[in-house]
Amino acid sequence: MATVELTKENFERTLKGNDIVLVDFWATWCGPCKAFAPIYEEVSERHPDVVFGKVDTDAQPELAGYFGIGAIPTLMAFRGQIGLFSQAGVLPAEAIESLIGQIKGLDMDAVRREVAEQEARQGHAHGPGCDHDH
């Protein structure tokens, strides 16, 4: 599968509609991003079951801001709409392959329990606008 351009219009839909989504935050003026692009594209061809998204941080500053992207390229990985990985810098193909293998091997029920426990420890397990006492 080739890479997919992600925008604020299709980002959430892409996460909801796919089990595993990798996201490359990049920009046209970024030399390391240009070096990473063919590596990312090559790995995407070997994993048709994984969405390989790309976010142009210049064209999509809201997404870059939302995820706190401070350096590019940054690779993020999501499974079941849960952010599992974020790392800035150019990753070799072997590292991306390893990451995909680790993500596929996760027990997502355990991950969801851990996320719920973290939210409970932070004292607010509900979204913004929640108006009841905890």
Contact yes or no for 42/95 (Cβ under 8 A) = no
Number of H helices, E strands in the chain: 5, 5
Q: Is 130 a catalytic residue?
A: no
Indicate the pairing of strand 82-88 with strand 74-79: antiparallel
Q: Which of 6, 21, 23, 33 is catalytic?
A: 33
Contact yes or no for 47/1 (Cβ under 8 A) = yes
Residue from 86, 92, 51 nearest 72 by CA? 86
Q: Which of 4, 30, 37, 95 is catalytic?
A: 30
Give the position of tokens 């680790």.
Answer: 102
Catalytic residue set: 30, 33
